[in-house]
Amino acid sequence: MKQGFYLRCRIEGVPELSRILMTTARKVSSLKVPLWRASKLILADVEENFETEGRLVGGWKPLAPSTVAGRMREGYGGEHPILQKTGALRQSFYSRVDNRRAFVSASSPYFAFHQSRKPRTRLPRRAMLVLTDRTRQNIVEEFYKFVRFK
């Protein structure tokens, strides 16, 4: 099963905003534009995680000495960059957007193992796909701008 984000927003306790959103929702037949922008923000965070070796999640655990030695034997260099021996994992991220949904994931079979929160014995968790507070705020702003100017 592919893993990705499912983002659902709900606003309660603000009657005026609720009325605006209800009225706007009747006018809007497609949320494709803000969903596309939201998916690009999330993919930008994925890129940042690869560039900074997991800075958005507190940093990825360094490679094991045996992994470094294996990379050296295979001609890929030393310890860095983490999760980028061939570049296939980094390049496998994609988004799909339609009128009501955005889906962000990776097609690489390695993605689910690194992203998973399951208990581990050997392979450390190195999350690439995360939703930071900053990105969440930017996504909310994209939807606000879209609804506001509809």
Q: Would residue 14 count as lying in a domain?
A: no
Tokens representing 130? 């995360």
Higher local confidence (pLDDT), 20 or 134: 134
Q: Would residue 4 count as lying in a domain?
A: no
pLDDT at 80: 77
CB 110 within 8 A of CB 84: no
Mean pLDDT of 134-138: 90
Mean pLDDT of the chain: 83
* CA 140 – CA 146 distance, rounded (Å): 10
Residue 52 binned pLDDT confidence (cut-offs 50, 70, 90)? very high
pLDDT at 47: 97
Q: Would residue 9 count as lying in a domain?
A: no
Instruction: Give the domain range for residue 141.
Output: 28-148
CB 107 within 8 A of CB 88: no
Q: Would residue 2 count as lying in a domain?
A: no
Q: Would residue 20 count as lying in a domain?
A: no
Q: Would residue 71 count as lying in a domain?
A: yes
